[in-house]
Amino acid sequence: MRGNADVTADVAVADVAVADVAVVGAGPAGMAAAVEAATAGLTVALVDAGERPGGQYWRHGPHDEGPLAGQHGRRTFAALRAGLVRTGTRTFFGHQVWLIARDADRFTLHLRPTHDGRGPGTRTLTARSLILCPGAYDRQLPVPGWDLPGVMAAGGVQALLKGSGTLAGRRAVVAGTGPFLLPVATGLAAAGAEIVMVCEANPLRGWLRDPGGALREPAKAVEGAQYAALLARHGIPYRTRTVVTEIRGEDRVRSVRIAPLDRDGRPRSGVRIEVDADLVALGWGFTPSLELPLMVGARTRLDTDGSLVAVVDARQRADVPGGPGVYLAGEATGVGGAALAVREGRLSGLAAAGDLGRTIDEGRMRRLQRAIRRGRRFAAALHTATPVPPGWTDWLDGSTLICRCEEVTYGDLCHAARELGAKDPRTLKMLARPGMGMCQGRVCGFATAQVAAALTGGSPSTPSADDLLPLARRPLATPVTLGEIAALGEES
C-alpha cells in the first residue's frame, strides 16, 4: 500500500494535489468509480462542481442526509458516500475542471472554483489515470417563447426542488418526452404546485405499464408503476402525442399553447388549446457533457437517441491518443440513467485499479459487464420509444430563438442556409453564430444540428456524429478569466 504516502504528500503541497486516479464528476458514476478505485488501493481525488456528492440525480440540500426518502437509489448513495469517507478519498467539491493536459505518464487537471466568491482559487491536480463521469443535462428543442422567464429545463426545475426546496412556479406545464418528465411532475405536485398537464410527445407504448419486462430490468418496471400511481394520486393529466407549440407572455410566462401531434410528428393544425401557467418545464431527453472527453481526444459515436457520446471498450476505457489511462462512465458513454451509471462507475474504478497493477476480482467485473449490457439494451429501447418528433421544426416561426445566448433566430438560420448557402452545421455556425455565446452551444447544439439537417435537405433530417461534433467541441470546458490562462504559462 503506497496510498498513505501520496495523501500526505498532497497535503504538504498547497495547490498541487497528486493522486493515482482523478475522478471528475461525483454523481452516481463518479462516486462509484472513486469508491471502487480507492477500495482497490489507489489514491483517489474526486472533483465536482457541486458543493456535495450526488450529482444531479442525488442532488440534496446541505441539511439533508442525502436524497430524500422515496428517492430512487437512496441506499446506494448512502453506501457510496460512506465509502468515500472510509477510503479517505480526497474531494474537491465546488470546483470545475476547465483544462486537462497529458504528458508522458500523467494528467494535469486545472481546476477553478464554481463561483468567484468561493475559495481557495485555482488549483492543479495531477494523476496517473483519469476517470471522467461528467453526466448530462436536459436536451432542448426551441419553441416560440422558450426564452421567457418561467420557462426552465425540466432538470433545472428538479434541481431547484431537490437542492433548495424551492418551487419554480405554482401552475406548471411539464413537456417534452421521456420518463424523466414523471418525477419532475410528481415532485412539483408533491411540493404543492398544480400540474396543468404533462405533455409527452410520444405514445410511449406500454412504458408505464411494463417498461421492459422483456428486457429484464425489473427495478424500472417498479419505478414506472410508482410514477403511474403518483400521477393518479395527484390527479395529473398526462397526455401522450402532445406538445407545447408556443409559450406566451411579455415579461414572463402567462400561458401555453398545446397541440396533438399527427402521424408524421407534426403539430395538428387548428387543434390547439391554450392554458394559463407560470412555469413550463421542458425536457427532450439528455445531452451528455462531452467537453472533457473531447478535450482528451476521446473517439465519439452517435447513440440511439441521436446524442453524441464517447466510445468505450468492455472495461470503460476511452479510445484516446497517447494510450490507455482514460476511463469514462455514466451518461458520457450513452444516456442510460443512474443505475447503469453506478455499474459503469464501479467497472471503471476496478479497471483503472487493475491497469495500475492492483489485484481485482475478475468475476465481479464480468458480472458488472453483464449488468451493463442489460442496462444498455433497456436504454436503447427507451431511446427508440422517445425520439424527438420528426416534424418539430414546424412549430418554429422566424422570430423563435434557436441560440439563446447570441439571440440567433430560426429566421437567421433559414437566411444563412437559403441566402448565404450554408450546407452543414459548421458553416451555419460560422455564418449565423448559433452556439457562439457563453454556453458554447450546450443548449442549442442539438437543435442547431437538427435545423441545419432539415434546412440543408437531409431526409430523414437526422444529424450525424460529424454534424454534432463541431457543435460539441469546446477549447475550454468552462469560461475562465484571461488571468487564469496567463497563469498557465507561468507554471510551466
Q: Is 168 in the site for other proteins (CB under 8 A)?
A: yes
Instruction: Tell me if 116 contacts other proteins by CB under 8 A.
Output: yes
Q: Which of 4, 13, 15, 61 lies at the binding interface for other proteins (CB under 8 A)? A: 61
**Does residue 324 touch other proteins according to CB under 8 A?**
no
Answer yes or no whether residue 138 interacts with other proteins by CB under 8 A.
yes
**Does 246 sit near other proteins (CB under 8 A)?**
no
Say whether residue 149 binds other proteins (CB under 8 A): yes
Q: Is 49 in the site for other proteins (CB under 8 A)?
A: yes
Choices 109-117, 125-133, 420-428, 451-459 (CB under 8 A): range interacting with other proteins: 109-117
Options 137, 238, 286, 446; binder of other proteins; rule CB under 8 A: 137
Q: Strand, helix or coil at 337?
A: coil
The nearer residue to other proteins, 114 or 369, going by C-beta atoms, is: 114
Q: Does 120 bind other proteins (CB under 8 A)?
A: no
Task: Name which position in 54, 66, 155, 349 contacts other proteins (CB under 8 A).
Answer: 155
Q: Does 119 bind other proteins (CB under 8 A)?
A: no
Q: Which helix (H) or strand (E) holds 354?
A: helix 338-355
> What is the distance between the alpha carbons of residues 136 and 133, in angstroms, rounded to a whole number?
9
Size of residue set near other proteins by CB under 8 A: 47
Helix or strand (DSSP H, E) at 128 = strand 123-132
* Residue partners of 86: CB distance under 8 A and separation at least 6: none
**What does the alpha-carbon distance between residue 396 and residue 27 come to, in Å, rounded to a whole number?**
35
Task: Report the residue number, 2 or 115, with the smaller CB distance to other proteins.
Answer: 115
Considering beta carbons, is residue 131 or 161 the nearer one to other proteins?
161
Length of the chain measured in residues: 492
As measured in angstroms, the least distance from the Cβ of 147 to other proteins is 6
Cell 418545464 locates to 281
Cell numbers describing residue 345: 462507475
> Can you tell me whether residue 334 is helix, strand or coil?
coil
Residues in 400-439 that interact with other proteins by CB under 8 A: 404-407, 437-439
Closest CB to other proteins among residues 134, 211: 134
Q: Which of 88, 121, 165, 475 binds other proteins (CB under 8 A)?
A: 165
Residues 267 and 162 sit within 8 Å (Cβ to Cβ):
no
CA–CA distance, 334 with 468 (Å, rounded to integer): 15
In the complex with other proteins, the residue whose CB is nearer, 29 or 443, is 443
Spatial distance between the Cα atoms of 23 and 39, rounded to a whole number of angstroms? 14
Please give the single-letter amino acid code of residue 122.
T
In degrees, to the nearest 5, what angle opens at C-alpha 265 toward C-alphas 262 and 269? 45
Stretch that binds other proteins, among 30-38, 48-56, 365-373, 460-468 (CB under 8 A): 48-56
Under the criterion CB under 8 A, does residue 151 sit at the interface with other proteins? yes
Judged by CB, which is closer to other proteins: 108, or 409?
409
Of the listed pieces 115-123, 214-222, 264-272, 369-377, which binds other proteins according to CB under 8 A?
115-123
In the stretch 283-312, what mask flags binding to other proteins with x, by CB under 8 A?
A: ------x-----------------------
Q: Does 247 bind other proteins (CB under 8 A)?
A: no
Q: Is the peptide bond before 460 cis (omega within 30 degrees of 0)?
A: yes
Interface with other proteins, residue 214, by CB under 8 A: no
**Using rule CB under 8 A, residue 163 touches other proteins:** yes
Q: Is 93 exposed, middle or buried (0-12, 13-18, 19+ CB in 10 A)?
A: middle
Question: What is the Cα gyration radius of the chain?
Answer: 22
Burial class (CB in 10 A: 0-12, 13-18, 19+), 484: middle
CA atoms within 13 A on the CB side of 270: 0
Q: How far is the CB of 487 from other proteins (least distance, A)?
A: 14
Distances (CA, A) of 112 to 91, 188, 199, 202: 14, 33, 39, 41
Residue 251 interacts with other proteins (CB under 8 A)?
yes
- What DSSP string describes 217-235? -HHHHHHHHHHHHHHHHTT
**Which of 44/396 has CB closer to other proteins?**
396
Question: Which is nearest to 140 in space by CA: 331, 285, 291, 266?
Answer: 285
Q: How far apart are CA 136 and CA 332, in angstroms?
A: 7
Closer to other proteins by Cβ: residue 170 or 418:
170
Q: Do the beta carbons of residue 132 and residue 157 sit within 8 Å?
A: no
Residues 433-492 binding other proteins (CB under 8 A) are 437-439, 442-443, 479, 481-483
Residues of this chain that interact with other proteins (CB under 8 A) are: 49, 51, 56, 61-63, 114-117, 137-138, 147-153, 155-160, 163-168, 251-252, 289, 404-407, 437-439, 442-443, 479, 481-483
